[in-house]
Amino acid sequence: MSQTIERPSAPSDERLAARSPLRKLLGRPEIGALVGAVVLFVFFSLVADAFLRASSFSTVLYSSASMGIMAVSVSLLMIGGEFDLSAGVMVTTSALIASMFSYQLTLNVWAGVAISLVVTLALGFLNGLLYVKTGLPSFIVTLGTFFMLAGLNLGFTKLITHNVATPSIEDMDGFEQARSVFAANWTIGGVQVNISVLWWIVFVAIATWLLLRTRSGNWIFAVGGSASSARAVGVPVTRTKIALFMGVSFTAWFYGMHILFNFKSVQSGEGIGNEFFYIICAVVGGCLLTGGYGSAIGAAIGAFIWGMTSNGIVYAEWNPDWFKFFLGAMLLAATVVNLVVRRRAEAGQ
């Protein structure tokens, strides 16, 4: 694919043209997911009458956004070479903190929102710190925090509210205001669109810019691709990894606030198992499980695939017993595509 070419004076444009645009496109991490998304879209359009309606599309987008917001930060973390298995329950933790803090102390809900942000970011920091200090795989460290948070969610909720769900905070001061930020529904051309879809797009845009256009992005790729190499050239590996864990906790907070203000009360058992779906979105979107490669846009496409599949099966009125089979098959297919891409990149000499 590339050689040291003997004539340094040769016009470079000529040879640049040799690398076809198609080839370049095929090198993008999200290409496998994009192809999959198009195929699925066409497929469901054909088999499900209701799928192509604008209102249905809005439902699919909302469903995608509810996975996608977390998938953004989870994909960044995966590019940085780590997992966070506590991401799913952390969303619930964050929502529970905001809800219970406001309710129990009878405060304006914004106070709960702020406290929740602080605590959730601290949890992300703790995940990162534990990982860095112990040197254990993040898989193990966050598996530990996953169970701990799941236990704390239930334990504290029952201790404080004597129930397994928090009471509704719908009638409290600041609720409507907070709802308009985190969970408002807008009607655009007769179709209801939830604000979380917009936030999702904003987060994807920021993450993409961060990854491709900033120094931090460079460092994220580097710490995931080869932490020892990155350290040797002076990249602050520890700081970068902790920041990535905190990124996950930030979106966990945001998404937790969406859940709280959209559904008014929170069940302490929610969120368990979602961490795997976030990882699936990222992997389907082209992130390598081993780190160093991937994109936020890919994760967004992964979330969109998720939204299309989970709702498309409903639109097509199929037996939903098979849903998990489709999900698994897609994950496998996406991983194989990525494997091929990586082999080509690594052994392309």
Give whole-number Cα distances, 299 to 162, 173, 221, 312, 315, in Å.
Answer: 39, 36, 15, 19, 24
Question: Hey, is 271 helix, strand or coil?
Answer: coil
- Stretch binding other proteins (CB under 8 A), from 38-46, 138-146, 169-177, 329-337: 169-177
Residues 73-102 that bind other proteins (CB under 8 A): 88, 102
How far is it, in rounded angstroms, from Cα 283 to Cα 280?
Answer: 5
Q: Is 193 helix (H, G, I), strand (E, B) or coil?
A: strand
Q: Which of 173, 198, 205, 289 binds other proteins (CB under 8 A)?
A: 173
**Residue with smaller CB distance to other proteins, 150 or 300:** 150
How far is it, in rounded angstroms, from Cα 251 to Cα 262?
16
> According to the binding rule CB under 8 A, does residue 338 interact with other proteins?
no
Give residues 2-41 in contact with other proteins (rule: CB under 8 A): 2-5, 7-8, 10, 12, 15-16, 18-19
Smallest separation (angstroms) from other proteins to the CB of 76: 15
**Interface with other proteins includes 163 (CB under 8 A)?**
yes
Cα-based angle 172, 199, 121 (whole degrees, multiple of 5): 70
**If residue 110 lies in a helix (H) or strand (E), which one and from where to where?**
helix 109-134
Bin 213: left if φ > 0, else alpha if -120 < ψ < 50, else beta.
Answer: alpha
- CA pair distance 102, 115, nearest whole angstrom: 9
| Binding of other proteins by 329 (CB under 8 A) | no
Q: Which stretch binds other proteins (CB under 8 A): 63-71, 128-136, 296-304, 325-333?
A: 63-71
Q: Provide the minimum distance between the beta carbon of 107 and other proteins in the complex, in angstroms, as a whole number.
A: 6
Yes or no: say if 126 and 145 are a contact pair by the CB < 8 Å rule.
yes
Smaller CB separation from other proteins, 173 or 205 = 173
From candidates 126, 132, 143, 165, binder to other proteins by CB under 8 A: 165
Q: Is 45 in the site for other proteins (CB under 8 A)?
A: no
The binder of other proteins chosen from 119, 143, 152, 154 (CB under 8 A): 154
Distance separating alpha carbons of residues 348 and 230, to the nearest angstrom: 22
Yes or no: say if 77 and 86 are a contact pair by the CB < 8 Å rule.
no
CB of 140 to other proteins, least distance (A): 21
Residues from 194 through 253 that contact other proteins (CB under 8 A): 196, 209, 213-215, 217-218, 221-222, 225-226, 228-235
Applying CB under 8 A, among 40, 114, 132, 289 the residue interacting with other proteins is: 114
For 281-297, give the DSSP string: HHHHTT--TTSS---HH
The two tokens of residue 306 are: 């998720």
Nearest to other proteins of 125, 147 (CB atom): 147
Query: Considering only residues 281-320, where is the footprint of other proteins by CB under 8 A?
Result: 288, 292-293, 307, 310-311, 314-317, 320
